Amino acid sequence: MALNRRNFLKLSAGGVGGALCAEQAGAAPREPKKLPSKAVGMLYDSTLCIGCKACMSACKEANGMPPETTGQPTAMWDTPLETSGKTLNIIKLYRNGSADHKDQEINGYAFMKRHCLHCVDPSCVSVCPVSAMTKDPLTGIVEHHADRCIGCRYCVMSCPFGIPKYEYDEAFGQIQKCQFCAHLQAKGQIPACCDVCPTGASLFGAVSDLKQEAQRRLEMQPGKDYEFSRGQLGAGRPGHVAHAPKYLKNVYGLKELGGTQVMYMSAVPFDKLGLPTHVPDFGYPTVSEGIQHMLYKWMLAPAVLLTGLAYVVKKNTDDANHDDHQPAPDKPSRKRKS
């Protein structure tokens, strides 16, 4: 078949269409990422949290963050309403009706701590075009590297938990998010928020140990006294003794979106505390990267398209050049006229 414009368009449509059909038929999600071998994490137990916000102050001090008065502009203390370029960690309050009882959904209240969950398969890392977001292959800490960042804010849009924040109020704004106090961990210390928490509501440890601890808590008898570790699980610090609450029977972060290294326990449903609950058991990058890989696999179609386009452009250019050097048949040439 001669490759004229009409045939070329037919071929291109067929090639691209074929690639798209193949993608629909065979675009398999890529394998989910696995928890790194030395993954560190945090267990936040909402039932142990007393809302003292010591963790927020410690976070600011450890990360050199200034106070924020977004909630009350004339306030004389730190009053952020949400995580931001100046606040990497925030304690929020859930309240319902008369809010008489702690850890009760109806007519009760509960606390919730929000910061980066250090996802096992993080969307922010997947979408970053310049690898400014990275996940440590050993510890699993998800870090933002300001020196590589181009400020595109894809990470802000991709995070299912709304965590990375851009400093819109700065002339040369940066992305900010909890880095799990990687700078302290590098010196053998633990994250500042876990270090200061008086009740062990924010508890640091190896993810595998924290999962076992969560299971221990799920098996506790509500109302009975138990000891809860403070700071770092198993590090020997005197514990905090409290009544066991009536926990929800699931731990948030074990499977949500492929798992997170910051996990949550609560007596109030997680959606009431602001966590997305209608989410799949796999990270979104398993699907988006699967489709990307399939498109790359079918790069043949765009290649044919480009080759054909180049051919058409070249042919048109040659024809135009040829026309420039030939006299128009219906017009007498100037030479002949003269």
Residues that bind ligand SF4 (CB under 6 A): 49-55, 58-59, 62-63, 88-89, 91, 111, 113, 115-119, 122-124, 142, 159, 161, 163-164, 177-181, 191-193, 196-199, 201-202
Q: At residue 78, what is the residue type?
A: D
The angle at the Cα of 124, spanning 120 to 130, to the nearest 5 degrees, equals: 120
- Residue number with CB closer to ligand SF4 (245 or 308): 245
| Helix ranges, 159-299 (H) | 182-185, 192-196, 207-218, 284-297
Question: What is the nearest approach in angstroms of ligand SF4 to the Cβ of residue 66?
Answer: 14
Task: Tell me how far apart the alpha carbons of residues 101 and 197 are, in angstroms, rounded to a whole number.
Answer: 22
CB of 95 to ligand SF4, least distance (A): 16
* 3-state secondary structure (DSSP) of residue 225: strand
> For residues 49 and 301, which CB has a smaller minimum distance to ligand SF4 in the complex?
49
Would you say 263 and 209 are in contact if contact means Cβ atoms under 8 Å apart? no
Tell me, what amino acid is at 333? S
For ligand SF4, give the closer residue by CB, 80 or 122.
122
For residue 283, the minimal CB distance to ligand SF4 (Å) is 8
Q: Minimum CB separation from ligand SF4 for residue 208, in Å? A: 19
What is the C-alpha R_g of the chain? 29
- 55 or 268: whose CB is closer to ligand SF4? 55
CB of 185 to ligand SF4, least distance (A): 9
Question: Contact at 8 Å (CB) between 176 and 84?
Answer: yes
